[in-house]
Each structure stands twice: as C-alpha cells, then as structure tokens.
Structure 1
C-alpha cells in the first residue's frame, strides 16, 4: 500500500494489489505484498519518461527504490519481523515486499507503526489473529475513512482505481474445514483460501473481505 501511494500518480487504473500470507502451525509465517501494474506496462513505461502529468510528479526508478528501501528498513526495526526483502521488475512493473513474522498478531503492530511512520490516517488497521489451540484464523478489515478521502480526490485521480483489484491468499499447514466469508474460494488442496475484489468496492465499503477460517482441529 505504501508503494501504491508513491506510484498512483502514474494514473493507470489497471493494477492489482496481492497480499499473501503463509501460516505455520505455531502461528508464525511469511507475508508478501505485491503491486502489479503489468497489465498497463506499456502505458506506465511511457508515463515514466515524463516529469509530471495532471499536476502529479512522476516518480523515477530511484524514487521507487528509495521508497522500498525505507519501508524495508522500518519493517526490520519491528520486533518479531525478520528476513525482510523486496524485489522490483521494471519490465513488467511489479514490486514485492516480503518478510517473516513470529506470530500473525505482529502484523497488527507492524501496520500501526508503518501507518504512523508514513503519517497515514485510518479509522482501523487490518486485524489478524490465530488461535493455535482451536486452529482458527481471523482477518478483520474496516476503514470508513477511505471513502471520505477518496471523495476529496480530483476526477482524474479517482480514475486510477477504476479497474484496480485486491487479492488475498492465505495458505495453511492444515486442511480448511470452514470459511465464514462466502465470497472466498477454497483451493483444490483445501489448504489455501483466496478472495479477489475491486478496490473501489473496498473504498466504498461495499465489499467484505473480513474472514474467519476454521482449520481441521
């Protein structure tokens, strides 16, 4: 999400945010956050040759690298987070930040610290939890302020999000027994859960991506 804030001035509506969480039996795991602009790579490549467009400064590769380096440095300072890495592909215009966490609940602390560091105001940060004994994974999301902030944008800036999507994939070491969110999809292996939705729906709070996943006890 931090990366998106630095690149949204590219004014392309075809991008995807991908969140992947791989859980271990003890509640630890790995998270990867990816922004994928490959569907608009030709447009993005052309725009990056400009200095600005519609009043927005176009970030150069060095600006994007600096942003990712700063984000990685902030993540490395958070207790319970390790092996922070990032990768950029300027041919397909894909960037990924990955890290390990000692327990999924640390993601809540990480979100708060990152939002504070970048002076991002949200009503609530996403909340993760995992009950090891009951094997219940929960993810809660609600941010009413997103719609208010979105409505303040100029028409051209709103177009950035027109076809943008958000996809979450949660992988588990156990078989999934039950999924509370009916919009989610269970993999053939029954060990991973995926949900894809429009970012505009998230902004307008017309999509529910909160979930409770019961694993086979």
Structure 2
C-alpha cells in the first residue's frame, strides 16, 4: 500500500487508531499522452465526533495523539516537496478538521514523475527497496498499477492488540481510474468498469490488503 504519501499515511494511521471507520481514496486521471493528475483523500468523516474528542487528549492506549498542528505540518511538508519535484505541477491540498477529511493532489507530465517522487520520500525515510507504483506504455497504451504484497505487513498487523485491530474492520481503500479512451481488458476482476468503459473503480477492505486476500494491482489495456 506504499504510495507517494508515505509521511502523511504514517501519521494518519496513528490518528485513526482511535476511531472506527475511515477510507483512503486514490484517484488517477490518465490522458492519452501519458500526463494526468492524482488525488489522494483520507476521509474519517463518519467518525468525526469521536476523533474530535480524541484530539483533545495527549495519548490513548499508549499511543501519542498527534496534534492538528503536527498533521498540518506533515501535509505542508508533502506539498513543499511536491512543488519541487520534476514533472509535477498544480499541487493542491485541503485539511478539514470539521469533517476530518484531508486531500492532496497534483498534475504530472508522466506517471514516472509520481514514481520518482515516491522513491525520494521512501529514501528520506531511510526505507530499503525500489519504489514503483505506476507504469504507462504510450505506444501500447498499457497502464499498470503495481502492488507488491509484503508478508511483514500481516506479521506487524498481528502484533497489534485486538482492540487496535478492530479499528480496521470497516476501513476501506478505494482506487478510481479515469481515461480518455475505453478500457479493452483489465487483470483485476475485483475492479468494476463503468458503462462508458472509460472509468474503473475498486473498493477493498484494508484488512484484505493487509492479509494478502486482495490486491490493488491491475494491468489495464486501453484501446489504441
């Protein structure tokens, strides 16, 4: 589930340990020339009342509760880094503490711009490994969403207390893709194709991704 929001995702996971329902949405719009835009949304609006109460505390169940200032600082950091990245433009973000919805988005000249930015963040976190989320072959019109399942994710998840695991029971990860041309084939059968055949959506329980039961990986062939 690595993506270009490594830092914000880590701090948000700490936040949602104290709530019961949240959603992460990944939206990618890809144009015929390989450019496009991406928008990531963290939505905990269904638990906003509980979150508002928790944010007033210093810690809960041994976890330090991040302040609004700390969360805003992380978002600001990502925005600053995005604006300096090659091939990235029109960086936008919102931080809504009334509904507990955070968004971060940008335009890209090619999907490799997103991969390069993700890798740089990953390296700054001193994490090992090569990062690559997307591929798009302009000639063949083949779009790929990569996802490599790490068994360690399940192992780490299983070390959590039962109450902490329960937080993820209703959590979902949604991916939405939009294209200029129609989709002819796709590999992940959990995805749903729109009537126009130019958009696709997949909503998965986060626990299924953690346990390796489902994957967001997909190979999508667009019409030439």
Superposition map of 1:18-29 within 5 A: 18-29=25-36
1:115, distance to aligned residue in structure 2 (A): 1.9
Superposition map of 1:90-105 within 5 A: 90-105=97-112
Separation in structure 2 between the aligned mates of residue 187 and residue 30 of structure 1, nearest angstrom: 19
- The counterpart of 1:160, out of the listed 150, 159, 167, is 167
- The counterpart of 2:144, out of the listed 132, 138, 156, is 138
8 Å CA contact 1:18, 1:35 repeated in 2: yes
Structure 1 pair 147–120 and aligned structure 2 pair: CA distance change class (3 A): farther
- The counterpart of 1:6, out of the listed 2, 11, 16, is 11
- The counterpart of 2:133, out of the listed 127, 144, 158, is 127
Unpaired stretches in structure 1, ≥5 consecutive residues: none
Deviation sequence 1:190-209 (CA, Å, 0-9, x none): 11111110111111111022
Separation in structure 1 between the aligned mates of residue 124 and residue 156 of structure 2, nearest angstrom: 19
TM normalised by structure 2 equals 0.89
Superposition map of 1:1-217 within 5 A: 1=5, 2-10=7-15, 11-120=18-127, 125-144=131-150, 145-217=152-224
TM normalised by structure 1 equals 0.92
Deviation sequence 1:7-47 (CA, Å, 0-9, x none): 33332231001000011111111011110001111111111
Separation in structure 2 between the aligned mates of residue 119 and residue 206 of structure 1, nearest angstrom: 28
The RMSD of aligned alpha carbons is: 1.7
1:142, distance to aligned residue in structure 2 (A): 1.1
Corresponding pairs, count: 216
